[in-house]
Amino acid sequence: MNFYTKQHKYYCGIDLHTNKMYVCILDEAGEIMVHRNIKTDREVFLKVIEPYREDIVVCVECMFTWYWIADLCGEENIPFVLGHALYMKAIHGGKAKNDKIDSHKIARLLRGGMIPQAYVYPPKMRSTRDLLRRRTHLVRKRAELFSHIQNTRSQYNIDEPIGKISRPKHREGVVEMFDDPSAQNMIAVDLQVIEAYDPIIASLEWNIVKTARHHDPISIAILNTISGIGKILSMVILYEIHNINRFPTVQDFASYCRLVKCSKESNGKKYGSGGKKIGNAHLKWAFSEAAVLFIRGNKQAKKYLDKHANKHGKGKALTILAHKLGRAVYFMLKNKKPFDQEIFFGL
């Protein structure tokens, strides 16, 4: 966890919402200079902070409306801090809670150097990252439909295998496998929705690949040297990382990717692990997916997995492999070197 500790003359804490924002500005002595509710508007906000522009820092809690104010502060050369929502939730205690109180607390924490920072993703690659996340959402929805068709087959005890219906040519005759008219209608609806998803996802992927070529083609090419990591998975990893140099150590990167467990200890006693929701869920998924794809047709990887599976079980063995791939990606991007399987397995 990183805290913002730089000193300024004025500290601005904002409880931000879509239509209103409660602004609290403190001076370096902790006296309240401004504390009022204003319209969520660029010009109104700049007018409020105008008397304090000489040396002010602005902070908001990380939630879905922070993009515009981060970009505005960047354009106006105003220091901006994005508070980590989960960490701030833990330290925002109190009997009463409202926008006025929250904005004051944010300003106080900012002045005291106690704001836990989240990464302010720059606008250049932000929209493409969000588009990738939307593509992942749609793919998962389509996968749910595939699973529903397969589960319905099991429900009706149909022995004949449906096959790999992710390919359009294998979808013919699937509806006719069911005798019940309502079941046929249900499967037909699933297939219609899947067929509607297919061109949308294909178009999204084409646009994402086209855009990614202009951002960081070298890093994408480096990631593609890992067996099993294709064009989409490499872009997910790259866009969620953005800049590998923001992680001082490989341990910081592994923690951010949720590839390690964080132990809880007190007075020499261990209380299990925590922090499962802190970190990047998209990178956790990407490296877990990469571990499964990495062992396909890879004898060395299969041997490595079997060795750990005998000791820990297959689930934990895949987690160990995902962690190892995450560490490899860190050093590959850091040193701008392609994947070397002999180094990876220590041969």
For 226, which DSSP code?
S
Banded model confidence at residue 347, pLDDT cuts 50, 70, 90 = very low
| Averaged pLDDT of the chain | 91
Residue range 265-288: mean pLDDT, rounded: 82
* Lowest model confidence (mean pLDDT) among 34-38, 158-162, 253-257: 158-162
CA distance 334 to 347: 22
Q: 318-324: list long-range contacts, CB under 8 Å, 24+ apart.
A: 318/288, 318/291, 318/292, 319/259, 319/288, 319/291, 321/291, 321/294, 321/295, 322/259, 322/287, 322/288, 322/290, 322/291, 323/254, 323/259, 323/260, 323/287
Q: What is the pLDDT of residue 79?
A: 96
Label residue 90 by pLDDT band (50, 70, 90): low
The arithmetic mean of pLDDT across residues 317-337, rounded, is: 95
Q: What does the domain layout of the chain look like in residue ranges?
A: 3-116, 125-215, 221-344
**For the residues 257-276, what does the mean pLDDT come to?**
77
Instruction: Tell me what percent of the residues of the chain surpass a pLDDT of 90.
Output: 77
Three-state secondary-structure class, residue 160: coil
| Alpha carbons 309 and 313: distance in angstroms, whole number | 4
- Quote the CA–CA distance of 307 and 299 in Å, as a whole number: 12
- CA pair distance 324, 331, nearest whole angstrom: 11
Whether the per-residue pLDDT at 222 is higher than 60: the answer is: yes
State which H helix or E strand residue 26 sits in: strand 20-27
User: pLDDT digits over 26-80, tens only?
Assistant: 999 999 999 999 999 999 999 999 999 999 999 999 988 999 999 999 999 999 9
pLDDT tens track for 293-325: 999 989 999 999 999 999 999 999 999 999 999
The structural architecture, per CATH, of the domain 3-116 is 2-Layer Sandwich (3.30)
Spatial separation of the C-alpha atoms in residues 182 and 207, rounded to whole Å: 38
**pLDDT of 70:** 96
Task: Give pLDDT tens digits for 161-203.
Answer: 888 888 888 898 899 999 999 999 999 999 999 999 999 999 9
Binned at pLDDT 50, 70 and 90, residue 274 comes out as: low
Between 21 and 277, the higher pLDDT residue: 21
Please determine, for residue 89, whether its predicted confidence score (pLDDT) is greater than 80: no
* 157, pLDDT greater than 50: yes
